């Protein structure tokens, strides 16, 4: 599935943009539960390639997305987050 990742700076703070982290994590939680139930979830990429790409990875604007993702992951029992 190819997603349109083009967004405006204003939309970069929208729930539809920020919640892509939840969608990706939910997908992998299902895979984990099927093949390795009870194992911790590690997020191994949260930068440019996360959730189909991030056009705002270089500017300051992306710091808000990154902090939002860390909070979402913490609420969902992610054990470790790696950043490139």
Residue ranges per structural domain of the chain: 11-81
Instruction: Name the percent of the chain lying above pLDDT 90.
Output: 14
CA 27, 31, 56, 67 torsion-angle sign? positive
Q: Residues 55-63: what's their mean pLDDT?
A: 70
- DSSP label at 40? P
pLDDT band with cut points at 50, 70 and 90 for residue 30: very high
Q: What are the Cα distances from residue 68, in Å, to 16, 38, 56, 74?
A: 13, 25, 14, 10
Average pLDDT rounded to a whole number, residues 30-57: 76
In the chain, what is the straight-line distance between the N-terminal and C-terminal CA atoms, in Å?
Answer: 24
- Tell me what the pLDDT averaged over the chain comes to: 79
Predicted confidence band of residue 64 (pLDDT cuts 50, 70, 90): confident
């Amino acid at each position: 599935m190819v997603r349109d990742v083009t967004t405006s700076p204003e939309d970069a703070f929208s729930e539809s943009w920020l919640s892509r982290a939840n969608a990706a994590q939910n997908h992998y939680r299902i895979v984990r539960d099927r093949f390795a139930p009870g194992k911790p979830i590690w997020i191994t990429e949260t930068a440019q390639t996360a959730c189909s790409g991030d056009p705002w990875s270089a500017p300051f604007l992306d710091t808000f997305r990154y902090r939002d993702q860390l909070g979402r992951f913490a609420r969902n029992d992610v054990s470790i987050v790696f950043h490139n």
